[in-house]
Amino acid sequence: MTQETDQPEETETGDRQFVSALARGLDILGCFRTDDRFLSNHEISRRTGLAKPTVSRLTYTLTRTGHLLRDEGSGEYRLGAKVLQLGFGVLAATSISDRVTAELGALSKGPNPYVTAALAERSGIRAVYLAVRRSHQAVSLSIGVGARLPLFYSGIGRAIIAGLSEEERAELLAMGIREFPEQQERMAQSIRDAVGDYEAHGYCTSFGAWKPEINAIAAPLRSLDGTTVYGVNVGGPSFLISPKELHEEYGPALLETVRKLGGIPAG
C-alpha cells in the first residue's frame, strides 16, 4: 500500500512553483456541492481522492483560517464566510457580469412568467452561476448565484462545452471520466449532443437531461478578451415551459442576447 507523504512540489508535479498543499486545500473547498451543508473528513477524502490524514490536516488548517467551520457535535465541516468573500471577489473581477445583468433581465421577462435566465462560467466539470435573473412568480427556479450545475448534462454546461475547441472537449471528457468513470459513455454522448444542438440551432438544449423537472436552452458566449467561454441560459420548470416554447419563443431572443453581449464563439 502506498503511503501519501509531503514530497517537495517539484517531485509531484514537475513544477517548482506549484504548491501542492495549497492545491489540495482548494480541492477540499471545491468538493462542497450546492446541496451540501456538512461534510465529514471521510466524505471529503472520498470526493477528493486525498488520504484521510492529509484531509484531517487540511480541514484543521482551513478551520483555523475561517474557510471552514466545524460542528462540535458531529465533527463535520461546512464552508465559512471567507469562501463567500472569495466568491464576491470573483464576481467583482468578472466584467461580463455587469454587462449581462440588463440582458438577462430582459430575457427573463419574455412571454412565460416562470422562466429564469442565467450566466455561468466553467469550474472543472461544473458550471457555476455568476448572475441570475428570474421572474417574480413563485414557481420559477430557485437556483441562485454560486450554484454549481453538471457541465455535461445541464443546458448552460453544454453551451460552455459547445464553445470549446475539440482538444479542450477531449481534456474535459478525460477529467469527467476520472471523477465519474461509470458515466463515460453518457458524458461522451452529451458532448456529441451539445455540438449537434449548437450546429443545428446556435444554442444547446437540456430537456430533462439534468433533472426531469427542468427544461432549458443555452448559448455559449466568449469574454471580451477572448479567454473565457461562458454559458447564457433560459429555462424553467418542465411542467410550465415546454421544449417547443423554448425553441420558438426564447431561442431567437437568446441568440439576440448573446449577439448583443459579444457574439457566439466558434466551437
Tens digit of pLDDT for each residue in 94-109?
555 566 788 888 898 8
Range of the domain at 64: 20-83
Q: What is the pLDDT of residue 97?
A: 57
Domain count across the chain = 2
In a domain? residue 121: yes
Q: What is the pLDDT of residue 95?
A: 54
Q: Which of 62, 83, 104 is the last residue of a domain?
A: 83
The sign of the CA dihedral 65, 66, 68, 71 is: positive
In a domain? residue 139: yes
Pairing state between β 214-222 and 229-237:
antiparallel
Taking the whole predicted model, whether its pTM rises above 0.85 is answered as no
For residues 190 and 249, membership in a common domain is answered with yes
Give the burial class of 120: count Cβ atoms within 10 A of its Cβ; 0-12 exposed, 13-18 middle, 19 or more buried.
Answer: buried
For residues 214 and 134, membership in a common domain is answered with yes
Q: What is the pLDDT of residue 1?
A: 37
Q: Name the more confident of 37 and 50.
A: 50
For residues 60 and 125, membership in a common domain is answered with no
Q: What is the pLDDT of residue 9?
A: 39
For residues 65 and 158, membership in a common domain is answered with no
In a domain? residue 14: no
Q: Say yes or no to pLDDT of 4 above 50.
A: no
Tens digit of pLDDT for each residue in 8-30?
333 455 667 788 888 888 889 88
Categorize the per-residue pLDDT at 144 as very low, low, confident or very high, splitting at 50, 70 and 90: confident
Q: Name the more confident of 215 and 90.
A: 215
Q: Which of 32, 56, 83 is the last residue of a domain?
A: 83
Residue with cell 433560459: 234
Q: What is the pLDDT of residue 11?
A: 40
For residues 109 and 77, membership in a common domain is answered with no
For residues 117 and 246, membership in a common domain is answered with yes
For residues 50 and 178, membership in a common domain is answered with no
In a domain? residue 242: yes
Domain at 169, CATH number: 3.30.450.40
d(CA 122, CA 221): 12
Give me the mean pLDDT over the 222-251 stretch: 89
In this structure, are residues 25 and 61 in contact, taking their beta carbons and an 8 Å threshold? yes
Domain at 71, CATH number: 1.10.10.10
Residue 128, H or E segment: strand 126-134
For residues 141 and 207, membership in a common domain is answered with yes
